Every structure is written in C-alpha cells, then in structure tokens.
Amino acid sequence: MSHYHLAQFNYARMVAPLDSPLMAGFLAGLDELNALAEVSPGFVWRHADENNSSTSLRPFPDKMRIITFSVWEDVETLKHYTYKTAHGKFMARRREWFEKVNEAYLVMWWVPAGYIPSVDEAKAKLAYLQAHGPSPAAFNFRTVFPPAD
C-alpha cells in the first residue's frame, strides 16, 4: 500500500452563468456524478460546499471558471472514474457547457496519505504545470509520474 494519494484539481470555463438555461443539463447531472465519485473504488475526498458541490467556489479572477478538486488512492482509480463510468459519458457532452481551453486545466500531484491539500496549493500546482510542463511536482494523465516511494 502506498504512503501517497493522488490529488487532482481542474477547472472548466462555463459558456454561460451557472443559473442560465444553457447550464441546466450540467447541473442536472452533478449530484449523481458526485455521489458516484464518493462510492467509486479509490475515492478518498472531494471538495464540497454547502450545496455538496464545488460550484460556488470561484478561486480564479475569471468567475466563469468552476473547479473540481479531489483526492484518490492512485491514478488508475481516478482514470477509471473519469473515463469508464457515467462520468465519461457526461464528459462527452462537455462542449455543451464549457469552452475549449488552450492551456493546462487539470493537474495531479502526490500527497501523503491522509493529507488534504488546500485550494491555494492546488492553484499553485496548476500554475506550475502551466509554466513548466509535467514533472514529478505537477503532472497530467498524459505524463504520469510515480509517487516518491
């Protein structure tokens, strides 16, 4: 068993405000996907506000960006949830709700098991990835680095 877990943080830029009819399909599936994440193998933690999502947290100056922030046991379990469950089918519709982004929008990094990173730490990891590309400090699904141990 690893002494590390995988933190992941990403953002998406909405095509319209969250309360717009254009975002209704996204909002309609959010509770189901969050519940699915929580019972998925490898799930450890996810950021949630008083509405049980992260949609109210807008940590970037651009308030059209919403985030997803979670911790998983390893890359394989996160990848399975992301692409092989109902979440993958939901992601296939992402262009209905989110703009295409031309920079890194997802970052992953290893944290000690039991540690929950902060949003500021996650934003710093994303900025590092955007500035320097994948490394053991901050990477993505295409270029994965193993934990230190």
Residue 56: its pLDDT value, please?
86
Its domain, for residue 23, covers 4-132
Torsional sign, CA 71, 74, 77, 81:
positive
Q: Tally the domains of the chain.
A: 1
User: Which contiguous run of DSSP H or E holds residue 29?
Assistant: helix 24-39
Residue 1: its pLDDT value, please?
59
Do residues 134 and 104 make contact, with C-beta atoms less than 8 angstroms apart?
no
We report the CATH number of the domain holding residue 119 as: 3.30.70.100
Q: Is residue 144 part of a domain?
A: no
Q: In Å, how far from its chain's centre is CA 60? A: 15
Q: Is residue 137 part of a domain?
A: no
Residue 2: its pLDDT value, please?
76
- Gap between the Cα atoms of 117 and 113, Å rounded: 11
pLDDT tens over the chain, length 149 residues: 579 999 999 999 999 999 999 999 999 999 999 999 999 999 999 999 888 888 888 999 999 999 999 999 999 999 999 999 999 888 899 999 999 999 999 999 999 999 999 999 999 999 999 999 999 999 999 999 999 86
Q: Is residue 149 part of a domain?
A: no
**Residue bearing tokens 């319209």:** 16
Residue 90: its pLDDT value, please?
86
Point out which residues pair with 6 in neighbouring strands. Answer: 72, 110
Q: Is residue 86 part of a domain?
A: yes
Strands of the 43-46 sheet, one edge to the other: 43-46, 65-72, 4-13, 106-112
Q: Is residue 75 part of a domain?
A: yes
